[in-house]
Amino acid sequence: MQHRALISPSILSADIANLERDLTRISSADLIHIDVMDGHFTGNLTFGPNVVAACKRVCTAPLDVHMMVTNPDATIDWYLDAGADIITVHAEASTHLHRTIAHIKERGAQAGAVLNPATPVGLLEDILPDLDMVLLMSVNPGFGGQSFIEGCYAKIARLRELCERVGANPRIEVDGGISEKNIAKVAAAGADTFVAGSAVYNAEDPNAMIARLRTLAQNAIEAAR
């Protein structure tokens, strides 16, 4: 069964000099998406555990920490200690994904796996029942403001079908180029959790945009049932 729609605004699009203000501007968010980049797995360098801890002090929404790093096992505990509620790691970067997922869960957080646009969903078949979330990248990771890769609609549907076939029900999160123009189609394909950065923070009223995105997605989920 598909979960209800959740919106996870990305602070990659926030004004880091005014982070507390910009977190307040998204106070209605279901999750707060924090992209951790190490400058190696991606061509960008972003947030450390100090930013996660700062968000934890001022946010009530769960922190959705996406680790775009080459060696997640070396630093996961930093982010768990800082207050991450959900940690997703790239299957492409994890040498022993099952062990990594088990460790996150043992620490009391939810655990998920991430796939880049060119990575097939079948890679996760044997671990799907252990996952709380699968994050599908609908842009190539590293920078905000990119356009949604159109081929990802079919990929989302393939992942939803695979989950049903193996009896797993993780959240399916999609990150990259999500906006009010395409969120309904993304939800109809099988996603239920949506990362939105530019679409939220470029809106005149970010909280109103979160509500609109959530409604569009939820209506599409219900229509597809």
Candidates 7, 31, 5; CA nearest to 218 is 5
Residue 105 to residue 120: CA distance in whole angstroms:
25
For residue 192, indicate whether it is catalytic.
no
First and final CA of the chain: distance in angstroms?
A: 9
Beta-bridge partner residues of 111: 87
C-alpha dihedral sign at 160, 100, 29, 145: negative
Catalytic pick among 22, 38, 132, 175: 175
DSSP, res 17: G
For residue 30, indicate whether it is catalytic.
no
Residue 94 to residue 83: CA distance in whole angstroms:
21
Catalytic pick among 35, 64, 85, 192: 35
Residue 96: other Cβ atoms inside 10 A: 10
Cite the active site residues. 35, 175
